[in-house]
Amino acid sequence: MTGKTLKKLLNVCKGIIPPDTVIKNANVINVFTNTIDEDVSITIKDG
């Protein structure tokens, strides 16, 4: 990841620039912890 990409993603997290897509109320399967995270929001930028 380049510094330019990181700066852009951080600006999305801070609310300075908008994401391309937001998925709300999603259920995410966490394969590392073997759990399901319910009602989460997923933000996508340049994806």
Which pLDDT belongs to residue 22?
Answer: 97
Which pLDDT belongs to residue 36?
Answer: 98
Written as six digits, the tokens of 40 are: 């989460």
Which pLDDT belongs to residue 47?
Answer: 84
* Whole-structure pTM value: 0.72
- Tens-digit pLDDT profile for residues 5-41: 999 999 999 999 999 999 999 999 999 999 999 999 9
Residues 6+ apart with CB under 8 A from 21: 43, 44, 47
Q: Contact 14/43 with Cβ under 8 angstroms?
A: no
Radius of gyration in angstroms for the set of CA atoms belonging to the chain, rounded to a whole number: 13
Domain coordinates of the chain in residue numbers? 19-47
